[in-house]
Structure 1
């Protein structure tokens, strides 16, 4: 009597196929992990040899001049006239800032620098606020300048650092009236800080210059611009690496969501020739803002160059806006 059944080859084939699929899945996961770590180091690890090294005209590290090209002397003025002050972040980082005392009592301007820059490069902005009588506090964001930290938070963890810098000022001077100013990543930072429930009431106004809608939007745009790549799956994997290595989520880092919670009057500034933080982002954050708000568009200004392109319009608008909310 004959019996029928599977031959050894037929029984082996499903196992071989399964093994191949598992191997391919493991290889794909390994490649994605490598890609995610590469782009994390490229964008968010300032101490990595692979870190993005943008030019000053891209990130605006030389922005903030009065239009006369005096940035280097302004930066030197800031460092030479400032005292070094410190703060311990909520997660234990040693943070640094420059502070220059102003002529007007109880007036403070917290000046936040851009991506891959540092506080010592904000002399142009700092000096203009100081000329208006403000005591200027220029913090080094975590992972930048003299502050601790080994990653860039694109404004999201930094928002709490700014809240705490403001709380420190208010504790030292209960009558303090504080203005938050930021450019590029600093602009996103002050927008994100403005939506925090524990932001001291001493903060009277926010001025943001060319801040982005969210970290996710900004990186998705740069993936297309610099590499010609789509956000999925690269940004998703990079975000997972960011959560594991830095503890924050790109999807949560939204200036749009934060200004929708803000009650602090805000001036939104953007150059209409900005492509690094695209001009369309201005209307997105402005439209989302629930607070009292104004908008300034500087024609012909590229990223972080609005103050240099038309200083009279820029600073005239800033001073007029602040006059309605400070002092």
Structure 2
């Protein structure tokens, strides 16, 4: 009985110390202890004070309702400079017996030892106890300690990029925990910005008003045109849908594209059209070795998981284990991208120390199914893939979502899912689309422009507003209805912008100026929509290699992605406690962090 009582005393003592402990040090040794002071004004933004105090003493005093922009705090404070800062000891924390700790947003990390000297902290990307801090605006990417101190704008996100201040790739905006390499929040020498065209949805198309005719003859002609195009666009959609959405159609299209361009998957494409600024000599050496590695050396394993909602069908993937690594990247493939090609590209991640898992989507290559869902169902399948990875490598191993083209959108869709395992740390979306209607409109208008260019050279120039008998809005309405009938969801349900806005995982959006398939402005649109505390945009200027070719600039590609991951890990390892010493504040803090 005495032992049981002693155990209970120890247990409650441990809990008390847990709540009262000072800040656990960051990996480099920096301690951030935040103590609530009842004499301060409620709701103040204390970011600048926190930066100054932490640099000076390693601690800062805050009120429970104060706001702190954690990203600015991370960027402005170098753990190496204060590595000798000591954390608040349990004995110091216990001097106030009425104190209660409020862990702000994040994953709780606790550690208890046998001496009851327990420390605790909240690993977090958001220290704000009242509102979410604004992500660093791209207009301030040249300022390493950029902070938004306007309390009225704490929930706003930047809506466009500043092409004048984001052109210097040597500008540091963040620091990494494992290297001196840094990467700005925005690298956009090409000056690409999003437009309203990148936000096009089926809802916009459905609500658009049709042509109006004032004369009787015009009304008759309009009526006939309307009925005829209903039929022609319906036929076009019926023929085009399986080509775009089915296993057979997409593979046939891929084979046809390869027939037209036999060198489509030639590894030399990674350096042949690469501008000198991206060091094509290094890319040639790297991808020559990468192709040899994938084809002859990589120890490939077959991995499968059941559909998330159908145990009778499987998602199949190729897995390459990195020796003694618990880090894993799950890679989404492009729409018609051959698995062996993304396998060559996966060397970029393998060389960064990651295990590589490359699943085919539903209805694509190795996986079951006959129709591609463009991420709609795949996003839930990726939960099963995460569980599979954690079974193989343990649930403490870092997982990153990555994809190119359609794979980028699948990765974003998966990253936006609720209930993801906490060890999924970030998403990298390379050359994704903002919405399917926006992508379709871009391709349609390019085709129309090409036709008008040729017809405009005739003796009597001809110009069409639409491809004859095939107006875009009607085609898309038919495709949308066909997809709802066969798959149960609409095209607006697989929106890159919506997924980007929903995910709170740190996100990196990448595209190239010379992407002729998916407009690079669509990556900018997704970046603008994203609300993650850490987000970045990189649009490579000049000649890189076309669609989904950013990885051709392999030196910068690896360096920038690694710096992004380092920044994410640095944020995740930052520990912050809020110690409440005023009874009135306890309820307020509890309400704000619930």
Q: Is the 8 A contact 1:211 1:277 kept in 2?
A: yes
Distance 1:127 1:247, change over 3 A: same
Q: In the alignment, which residue of structure 1 is the partner of 2:486?
A: 245
Residue segments in structure 2 that go unaligned for 5+ positions in a row: 1-222, 271-281, 450-466, 571-594
Residue 149 (structure 1) shift? 1.3
Q: Which has the greater radius of gyration?
A: 2
Picking from 418, 428, 444, the partner of 1:197 is 418
Q: In the alignment, which residue of structure 1 is the partner of 2:300?
A: 82
SS of the counterpart of 1:67?
Answer: helix
Moved over 6 A (4+): 60-64
Q: Say whether 1:305 aligns with 2:579.
A: no
Q: Say whether 1:206 aligns with 2:422.
A: no
Residue 75 (structure 1) shift? 3.9
Looking at structure 1, the residues matched to 296 and 433 of structure 2 have their Cα atoms a distance apart, in angstroms, of 29
Looking at structure 2, the residues matched to 244 and 263 of structure 1 have their Cα atoms a distance apart, in angstroms, of 32
Aligned residues: 300
Q: Is the 8 A contact 1:75 1:122 kept in 2?
A: no
Distance 1:278 1:28, change over 3 A: closer
Q: Is the 8 A contact 1:74 1:123 kept in 2?
A: no
Picking from 487, 490, 496, the partner of 1:255 is 496
SS of the counterpart of 1:232?
Answer: helix
Looking at structure 1, the residues matched to 520 and 424 of structure 2 have their Cα atoms a distance apart, in angstroms, of 27
Q: Is the 8 A contact 1:210 1:269 kept in 2?
A: yes
Picking from 396, 402, 414, the partner of 1:181 is 402
Residue 86 (structure 1) shift? 0.4
Q: Is the 8 A contact 1:182 1:208 kept in 2?
A: yes
Looking at structure 1, the residues matched to 251 and 321 of structure 2 have their Cα atoms a distance apart, in angstroms, of 39
SS of the counterpart of 2:305?
Answer: strand
Q: Is the 8 A contact 2:348 2:554 kept in 1?
A: no
Q: Is the 8 A contact 2:230 2:474 kept in 1?
A: no
Q: Is the 8 A contact 1:104 1:134 kept in 2?
A: no
Q: Say whether 1:127 aligns with 2:347.
A: yes
Picking from 67, 72, 75, the partner of 2:283 is 67
Q: Is the 8 A contact 1:99 1:138 kept in 2?
A: yes
Distance 1:75 1:239, change over 3 A: farther
SS of the counterpart of 1:287?
Answer: helix
Q: Say whether 1:294 aligns with 2:536.
A: yes
Looking at structure 1, the residues matched to 442 and 229 of structure 2 have their Cα atoms a distance apart, in angstroms, of 24
Residue 281 (structure 1) shift? 0.6
Residue 323 (structure 1) shift? 2.0
SS of the counterpart of 2:248?
Answer: coil
Q: Say whether 1:315 aligns with 2:533.
A: no
Alignment of 1:1-327 (within 5 A): 31-48=232-249, 52-53=253-254, 55=257, 67-68=283-284, 69-70=287-288, 72-77=291-296, 81-92=299-310, 93-172=313-392, 173-226=394-447, 229=467, 230-291=471-532, 292-300=534-542, 301=544, 302-308=546-552, 310-326=553-569
Distance 1:40 1:122, change over 3 A: same
Deviations 1:10-61 (A, max 9, x none): xxxxxxxxxxx9xx96x8765544222112022112303995347478xx86
Q: In the alignment, which residue of structure 1 is the partner of 2:185?
A: none
Residue 103 (structure 1) shift? 2.7
Q: Is the 8 A contact 2:429 2:508 kept in 1?
A: yes
Residue 151 (structure 1) shift? 1.5
Distance 1:74 1:156, change over 3 A: farther
SS of the counterpart of 1:216?
Answer: helix
Q: Is the 8 A contact 1:118 1:141 kept in 2?
A: no
Deviations 1:103-128 (A, max 9, x none): 34321111111111243321223222
Looking at structure 2, the residues matched to 281 and 48 of structure 1 have their Cα atoms a distance apart, in angstroms, of 26
Deviations 1:59-118 (A, max 9, x none): x8678957225364354257x511101011124331100111113432111111111124
Looking at structure 2, the residues matched to 148 and 226 of structure 1 have their Cα atoms a distance apart, in angstroms, of 33
Larger RCO of the pair (alpha carbons < 8 Å, separation 6+): 2
Looking at structure 1, the residues matched to 235 and 251 of structure 2 have their Cα atoms a distance apart, in angstroms, of 13
Looking at structure 1, the residues matched to 296 and 487 of structure 2 have their Cα atoms a distance apart, in angstroms, of 34
- TM-score of the pair, normalised by structure 1: 0.82
Q: Is the 8 A contact 2:334 2:407 kept in 1?
A: yes
Residue segments in structure 1 that go unaligned for 5+ positions in a row: 1-20
Q: Is the 8 A contact 2:501 2:530 kept in 1?
A: yes
Looking at structure 1, the residues matched to 529 and 238 of structure 2 have their Cα atoms a distance apart, in angstroms, of 33
Distance 1:144 1:226, change over 3 A: farther
Looking at structure 2, the residues matched to 81 and 50 of structure 1 have their Cα atoms a distance apart, in angstroms, of 26
SS of the counterpart of 2:420?
Answer: coil
Give the stretch that moved more between structures: 141-150 or 114-123: 114-123
Distance 1:212 1:36, change over 3 A: same
Looking at structure 2, the residues matched to 44 and 200 of structure 1 have their Cα atoms a distance apart, in angstroms, of 30
